[in-house]
Structure 1
Amino acid sequence: MPADDDLPGTLQRSPKHAQDIYTEARKSAEAEYGDGERAGRTAWAAVKHEYEKVGDHWEAKESSGPSDSGAAGSRGSGKTEEGVDANASKAHLMDLAKRLDISGRSSMDKGELVDAIKKANRRASAAARS
């Protein structure tokens, strides 16, 4: 189980509740599956059920639940939206795009917004690591 300083950077910049969800889910998954990739995926899935990635950190979602079609099944498809709540309304995604200063957002459809938010999140996380 990771110590607090071993939490992924995006979680270190996120609410304590998100950190606790990750830590407890990871601990439980490691007891079940051992230390490894599957335990990590399980812990991230638990976080994504309650939080969405916004820039370089995680924020509580308006309502809990799977964040994308890959997370909706019992064994995800392997493809995720990287913490973007693709099941959120287009209005919510537009608001996030505005907060992240994504240009051209007014002409984007929902799928394009999700992709643009993912890219903005990656850039923000990379900048925070520097």
Structure 2
Amino acid sequence: MPKTTSKGKAKKEELPDTIKRSDAKAQRTFAKAHDSAAKEYGEGQRAHRVAYSALKHTHEKVGDHWEPKAKRAKGPSDKQAEGGVGTSRKTAGGVDANASKKHLYDVAKRLDVSGRSTMSKKELVKAIEKANNRKTAKARS
């Protein structure tokens, strides 16, 4: 089912909940990428994966929604979003794993992740992903 209207706007009722709670740019990015992938590969999981990968180039998941990346930080957020050979790698769940440790620390602080000051960059990514999942689950209930 198309995620965009004939005028190119995202159909909110067709979007995943975390994207519904995000800005209009995130909604358009996901919807247009999904529709393009659905034409190429057919409706289904692959179209969703392509759409999320496109979204991860411009946005990062913070809590229960997606926020725009800083202009200098645009690009794939993890090895899976980079694509290429071996694209069946684990994702970072929308966390910008390629961001600086300082940025990840600041996101962890906003999400009130305990123990963040002693965590490595890899640990921060996992802790943020876990906090994001908790916030998303809470938003669903």
Matched length: 130
2:16 is the counterpart of 1:5: no
2:45 is the counterpart of 1:37: yes
- State the shift of 1:74 in Å: 2.0
2 CA distance for matches of 1:72 and 1:128?
29
Per the normalisation by structure 1, the TM-score is: 0.96
- State the shift of 1:116 in Å: 0.2
- % of aligned pairs identical? 57
State the secondary structure of the residue aligned to 2:22.
coil
The answer (yes or no) to whether the contact 2:79–2:89 under 8 Å persists in 1 is no
Identify the match of residue 77 of structure 2 among 53, 67, 82. 67
- 1:99 corresponds in structure 2 to 110
Amino acid at match of 1:88: A
- State the shift of 1:70 in Å: 2.0
Q: Structure 2: where are the runs of 5+ without partners?
A: 4-10
**Correspondence 1:1-130 to 2 at 5 A:** 1-2=2-3, 3-62=11-70, 63-75=73-85, 76-130=87-141
2 CA distance for matches of 1:42 and 1:70?
11
The CA deviation string for residues 48-70 of structure 1, in whole angstroms up to 9 with x for no partner, is 11000000000011221010122
The CA deviation string for residues 12-46 of structure 1, in whole angstroms up to 9 with x for no partner, is 10000000001100110011001011111001101
- State the shift of 1:107 in Å: 0.3
Amino acid at match of 1:28: S
- State the shift of 1:73 in Å: 3.0
The answer (yes or no) to whether the contact 1:70–1:80 under 8 Å persists in 2 is yes
The CA deviation string for residues 52-93 of structure 1, in whole angstroms up to 9 with x for no partner, is 000000001122101012222325233100000000000000
Per the normalisation by structure 2, the TM-score is: 0.89
Question: Comparing both chains, which one has the higher relative contact order based on Cα–Cα distances under 8 Å and sequence gaps of 6 or more?
Answer: 1
